């Protein structure tokens, strides 16, 4: 058993999405070459899945908020 402590929470979420949501909702494609791509704007993190079969797109967004004072 290995412990993966060096991965960020965002990387762990991307891996979870890859394991659970890498199937295209439009055409049903489910392959190893499909996965989620991650970008950030500084205030939010965007996860995007593009189906290699039909080019269908699915997105998720995590908004980052500063702590309230």
Residues 13-42: pLDDT tens digits? 778 777 766 678 889 888 776 678 888 888
pTM of the model: 0.64
Q: What is the mean pLDDT of residues 32-57?
A: 86
* pLDDT at residue number 1: 47
Ramachandran bin of 33, using left for φ above 0, alpha for ψ from -120 to 50, beta for the remaining angles: alpha
Q: What is the pLDDT of residue 69?
A: 61
CA–CA distance, 22 with 54 (Å, rounded to integer): 14
Q: Mean pLDDT for the chain? A: 79
pLDDT score at 30:
82
Q: Average pLDDT in the 7-13 region?
A: 79
| Nearby residues of 1 by Cβ (< 8 Å), 6 or more positions away | none
């Amino acid at each position: 058993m290995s412990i993966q402590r060096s991965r960020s929470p965002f990387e762990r979420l991307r891996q979870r999405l890859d394991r659970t949501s890498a199937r295209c909702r439009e055409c049903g494609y489910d392959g190893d070459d499909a996965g989620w791509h991650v970008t950030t704007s500084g205030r939010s993190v965007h996860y995007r899945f593009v189906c290699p079969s039909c080019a269908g797109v699915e997105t998720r967004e995590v908004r980052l908020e500063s702590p309230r004072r």
